[in-house]
Amino acid sequence: MPSTLLQLCCSAMETLAPKLPSLKVLNPSSSSSSPSCSTARSSSSLRAGLRRPFSLSISASAVREGDPAVGSVSLGHVTRTDFPILHQEVNGSKLVYLDNAATSQKPTAVLKALQNYYEAYNSNVHRGIHFLSSKATDAYELARKKVAAFINASESTEIVFTKNATEAINLVAYSWGLSTLKPEDEVVLTIAEHHSAIVPWQLVAQKTGAVLKFVNLDETESPDIEKLRQMLSRKTKIVVVHHVSNMLASVLPIEEIVLWAHDVGAKVLVDACQSVPHMAVNVQDLDADFLVASSHKMCGPTGMGFLYGKRELLSAMPPFLGGGEMISDVFLDHSTYAEPPSRFEAGTPAIGEAIGLGAAIDYLSGIGMQKIHEYELELAKYLYENLLSVPNIRIYGPVPSGNTNRAALCSFNVENIHPTDIATFLDQQHGVAIRSGHHCAQPLHRYLGVNASARASLYFYNTKEDVDDFVRALNDTVSFFTSFK
Amino acid sequence: MISSPFIPRVPLSSSSSSSSSSSSGPVMLPYLSNYPRPKRNDFKSRNLAFMPLKCIHNSRFDSSSESDARLPSFSASCLTATEATLASSDLVADRLRRVVAEFRSLPEPIDRVKRLLHYAALLSPLGDSARAPENRVTGCTTQVWVEAELDKLGRVRFRADSDSEISKGFCSCLIYMLDGAEPEEVVKVKSEDLADLNVGLHGKAHSRVNTWHNVLIAMQKRTTALLAGSE
């Protein structure tokens, strides 16, 4: 029956395309997906195929080794087979996961690393002399080396494992900030910072009498870096800025900002949560003093983040949390503290999660961050251009142009429809997962005159088909709410 | 996760005798036809039952309307003879059962959201002054405002609004259940009871963005504060 054939055809495309040159015409990376396949997508047999892609799925590493046919297959198609979670139905529809700025999915390699740790060598680190503890310690410290190499830190002792990026920022605020800031000192931030980069500094400012100064957006709806430059003075002690905005998709020129800040003797803390997973970040090139990122946004486990700090800064900083692991000697009335990074890792760390992050870095490095970045730039453009076709839509952040690249995410509102209503309908009627709310950026939303927005955010395992599905579903959602009114 | 008016599209065993509406059919209030007509000579409620839907849900935050205190502002159709003779505790439980039955009778998620949007349309909007920060319900991804007041009979009168149509639908249902109830009955309702509503919850998880849960808690907190204030 033709419909069955179609279903088979589309199902095969989903799982076999990377290996079959003859299926190039079906490759949706050409942005013109076959209408017949679109129709068949809702069939139950296709869904079954999507739920259980058969064992011919091709890992990113296998593809990298060079099947000439894969040259025309997008990175998204190649890598999505590594992510079992993507191949399922949600509320009766094929899952389209577009909430990657909130958290990324995990490839099989990371899942296996976690399972292997708990099955084969789970043990506490740094203090045991037995075989398992030694093996766990080696793996934990190897993960630190992998993180250091990934962001090109000069040594692995400059990497402090934290439970997330938020804790990493708090560590700097409470340790460096409380011991350094004096009344009238200034902390410069942008209004587009994530709450986790604002609130710790508010708390520290309240304790020290330091002043927070915020940079607004310019006419392009990016943080106004000229204003930021003008705001810097000898009073400025630290500049706290994102690298890539989780709402505006804008990218800040960190190297320039660091130069300006260092000129006035200020330090720079970079919130790299939305950049490290998506592009090559080199802390030595940036010359950033502190940089934080989060494991779960870069294919690693939750419960794990890291702080990069220049060695001389970390060495001079007092402890943040007290406990085991971070001490040198403990007496009843005082203690002496270990050298960084142990000084800042009180208690048993998230060992399995660190090892999982190491596996995620191996996976990402295997693909290549430059390749990921280039593919995501293409996706970003495709997403932005296609979203513009939705009636009465307002997309926040800079308009992409020759000089202005956007990250592969779009925050938006559709006139007279609440973004949470949109996200709800997209999830339940179309299986499309996006975020709604203020994205932990209330000051930015307030500045833009809205309480909330919807956000679709992509990662390298997304495809242009995902974008097509999303835009189609969004149009249907808008029609539904409009007709109901 | 966001608070959703749906649950996965699986057939549900209906606990209601009300008929399931199709997604293309007009949005109806099942209990308009499935519950007995008011027997007592209450011209006001009978008239309301025949009013256009948009007009039914007039806000009655006027504490002077003592005779209306036990009559939910949600819909005149709820003003059945049975209900008129129920104790307050039975009233809340009865209304909860009706709402549960109604949403359980709709197996298609899209029908449940249509129903919620319908109820949202019945809810009178709050004025700007009531959309004040002190009336905000915390923890929702949408903006929700709740006002509560004790009427002369000591019953709690609620008003609510939201900038989201779906959240407004939740508010509308909660007001139907709780408006005009005794304070003790309001605080007795458990959020678990709402899980049976088959709408707005993923499983029975207490999400921080679960509007049902957050608005209920807000109503209960305000009720407790009113009681404390009146003592």
Q: A418: which chain B residues are within 8 Å (Cβ-Cβ)?
A: 142, 163-167
Tell me how far apart the alpha carbons of residues A151 and A308 are, in angstroms, rounded to a whole number: 9
Minimal CA separation from A66 to chain B, in Å: 40
In this complex, do B109 and A429 lie within 8 Å of one another by their Cβ atoms?
Answer: yes
Per residue in B13-53, pLDDT (tens digit) is 333 333 333 333 333 333 323 323 233 333 333 333 323 33
pLDDT band at B88 (very low <50, low <70, confident <90, very high): low
Half-sphere exposure for A297 (CA within 13 Å, toward CB): 25
Q: Could you give phi then psi for residue B225, rounded to 5 degrees?
A: -65, -40
Minimal CA separation from A194 to chain B, in Å: 16
A99 touches chain B (CB under 8 A): no
Tell me how far apart the alpha carbons of residues A395 and A421 are, in angstroms, rounded to a whole number: 17
Q: Mark the ranges of chain A whose per-residue pLDDT is less than 50.
A: 1-71
Mutation site for B-interface testing, chosen from A420, A425, A455, A482 by largest number of B Cβ within 10 Å: A420
Higher pLDDT, A59 or B183: B183
Q: A340: cis peptide before it, omega within 30°?
A: no
Tell me how far apart the alpha carbons of residues A291 and A287 are, in angstroms, rounded to a whole number: 10
pLDDT band at B199 (very low <50, low <70, confident <90, very high): low
Structure tokens at A108: 């099989």
Q: A91: which chain B residues are within 8 Å (Cβ-Cβ)?
A: 6, 8-9, 109
- Look up tokens 């099955």; give the residue: A119
Q: B163: which chain A residues are within 8 Å (Cβ-Cβ)?
A: 418, 451
In order of start, what are the domains of chain B with their CATH numbers?
A: 92-201 (3.90.1010.10)
For chain A, the maximum distance between any two Cα atoms, rounded to a whole number of angstroms, is 83
The predicted pLDDT at position B71 comes to: 40
Nearest CA-CA partner of A175 in A208, A145, A131: A208
A91 touches chain B (CB under 8 A): yes
Report yes or no: A157 and A315 within 8 Å, Cβ to Cβ: no
Of B5, B114, B143, the CB nearest to A424: B5
Known catalytic residues of B are 140
Tell me how far apart the alpha carbons of residues A148 and B166 are, in angstroms, rounded to a whole number: 47
Average pLDDT over residues B106-111: 86
CATH of the domain spanning A110-364, picked from 3.40.50.2300, 3.40.50.300, 3.30.1490.20, 3.40.640.10: 3.40.640.10
Nearest CA-CA partner of A211 in A182, A172, A169, A240: A182
For β-strands A409-414 and A432-433, DSSP reports them as unpaired
Report yes or no: B180 and B174 within 8 Å, Cβ to Cβ: no
Tell me how far apart the alpha carbons of residues A15 and A19 are, in angstroms, rounded to a whole number: 9
Per residue in A14-61, pLDDT (tens digit) is 333 333 333 333 333 333 333 333 333 333 333 333 333 333 333 334
In this complex, do A424 and B4 lie within 8 Å of one another by their Cβ atoms?
Answer: yes
DSSP 8-state secondary structure symbol assigned to residue A108:
H
The predicted pLDDT at position A2 comes to: 36
Identify the bridge partners of residue B95 per DSSP, sorted by sequence position.
Answer: none
Tell me how far apart the alpha carbons of residues A407 and A249 are, in angstroms, rounded to a whole number: 5
Q: A2: cis peptide before it, omega within 30°?
A: no
Rounded to two decimals, what is the model's pTM? Answer: 0.79
Rg of chain B over Cα atoms, rounded to whole angstroms, equals 16
Tell me how far apart the alpha carbons of residues A266 and A237 are, in angstroms, rounded to a whole number: 4
Minimal CA separation from A427 to chain B, in Å: 9
Nearest CA-CA partner of B124 in B96, B157, B162: B162
The predicted pLDDT at position A198 comes to: 96
Q: Could you give phi then psi for residue A345, rounded to 5 degrees?
A: -125, 65
The predicted pLDDT at position A404 comes to: 84
Nearest CA in chain B to A90: B8
Q: Is the pLDDT of residue B69 over 70?
A: no
Tell me how far apart the alpha carbons of residues A5 and A432 are, in angstroms, rounded to a whole number: 26
Q: Which of A136-150, B72-86, B99-113 has the lowest mean pLDDT?
A: B72-86
Tell me how far apart the alpha carbons of residues A327 and A344 are, in angstroms, rounded to a whole number: 10
Minimal CA separation from A435 to chain B, in Å: 8
Tell me the CATH number for domain A3-99+369-482. Answer: 3.90.1150.10
Q: B4: which chain A residues are within 8 Å (Cβ-Cβ)?
A: 424, 427-428
Q: B8: which chain A residues are within 8 Å (Cβ-Cβ)?
A: 91-92
Tell me how far apart the alpha carbons of residues A6 and A456 are, in angstroms, rounded to a whole number: 30
